[in-house]
A = this chain, B = another copy of it.
Amino acid sequence: MPRVRADDYDDKKSKILDAAAKLFSKQGYAGSRMDEIGTACGVSKSMLYHYFKKKEDVLADILQEHVSRLIESVSAHVDAGVNGNKFDYFRRFVEVYLNRSGNARASHVVAMYDVRYLTPQQRKKQVKLEWRLLELIEAILKEMKAGDSRTDYRVSAFLLIGMLNWVELWYDESGQISAAKFYEKISRLFLTGFLERGATT
């Protein structure tokens, strides 16, 4: 009887990815060794090479999975449509984005810091994914206000995603400002500035 892929193959693989993401987020990709990843999830180094051909493949999988999930969440929000108050729609987008990236903070940190360690091919694929996310954010901004040039939405989308990604790196949910208050604040600050007439010329 030929050997088949173990039932828990995917399960183990995602456990490795979780441990690796946590490690990379602390020490950086280049500062983490394969055997450290193994120790962190109770697997031998050789075993890791059963799931991943190269060290870079671990990184690529973390990044791709993270952005894919972000796209999924944001996409669902876009598909649902405005359906009522525009500001509320925007605020809920901010909430969805920051919740998604916050729940996977380790992966998010790695996505911020370690993209450069991907091979050119892996990087190309990753950048493509990130553009899809940017386009979704552009779509949301277009819902907020129609009539300007495309370039303008792109720049605004960049500014927004920059602010959100940065926030994720330092915002502490256990801190002084509650998550809900924070979503409200950041949404209002950005949207007010974005909607103001002079801001788009």
* A interface, CB within 8 angstroms of B: 26-31, 113-114, 116-117, 151, 155-156, 158-159, 161-163, 165-167, 169-170, 176-177, 182, 185-186, 188-194, 196, 198-200
- The answer for the CA separation of A191 and B189 in the assembled complex, in Å, is 9
Shortest distance from the beta carbon of A79 to any chain B beta carbon, whole Å: 27
Residue of B nearest to A156 (CB): B189
Check B159–A162 contact: CB distance below 8 A.
Answer: no
Choice from B114, B163, B169, B199 contacting A192 with Cβ under 8 Å: B199
Check B176–A167 contact: CB distance below 8 A.
Answer: no
A169: B residues at CB distance < 8 A:
162
- The answer for the CA separation of A124 and B30 in the assembled complex, in Å, is 22
- The answer for the CA separation of A162 and B156 in the assembled complex, in Å, is 14
- The answer for the CA separation of A26 and B29 in the assembled complex, in Å, is 15
Number of identical monomers bound together in the oligomeric complex:
2
A196: B residues at CB distance < 8 A:
188-189, 192-193
Query: With A113-B113, A166-B166 in contact, do A189 and B30 touch (Cβ < 8 Å)?
Result: no
Query: With A27-B116, A116-B27, A166-B163 in contact, do A189 and B185 touch (Cβ < 8 Å)?
Result: no
Shortest distance from the beta carbon of A134 to any chain B beta carbon, whole Å: 10
Shortest distance from the beta carbon of A91 to any chain B beta carbon, whole Å: 12
